[in-house]
Amino acid sequence: MEKVLCEGVAELVEESVVDGKWVGIGEKMAVRYLGPDGPKYLVPTLNQPRLGFQASSHQIKKLAGSRWAKSYWVKGKMEDQAGRKPIT
């Protein structure tokens, strides 16, 4: 799965939530980039808060990797993708 780093102008369109518009968007993106089993990728991260942004990018840089960086995790809220206990 590709990740991107965008430089441009962004507008916050959804406050920090664990449900909301992003769930449907995330499911579609998971299928698009990871195939039919892609939504399984979301399961261990569903209880993580997210912000929704709409961006107009001036420059885009592709990044490699499919796992969340540990710096993004909210302690005690996310099992790692191998199904082990939550990070505390």
Residue with tokens 């302690």: 75
Sequence ranges of the domains in the chain:
3-72
| Range list of H helices, 19-74 | 21-34
Mean pLDDT of 8-36: 87
Length of the chain in terms of residues written = 88
At residue 3, φ and ψ (nearest 5 deg) are: -120, 155
CB within 8 A of 22, min separation 6: which ones? 14, 50, 52
Confidence of residue 65 (pLDDT cuts 50, 70, 90): low
Record the pTM: 0.51
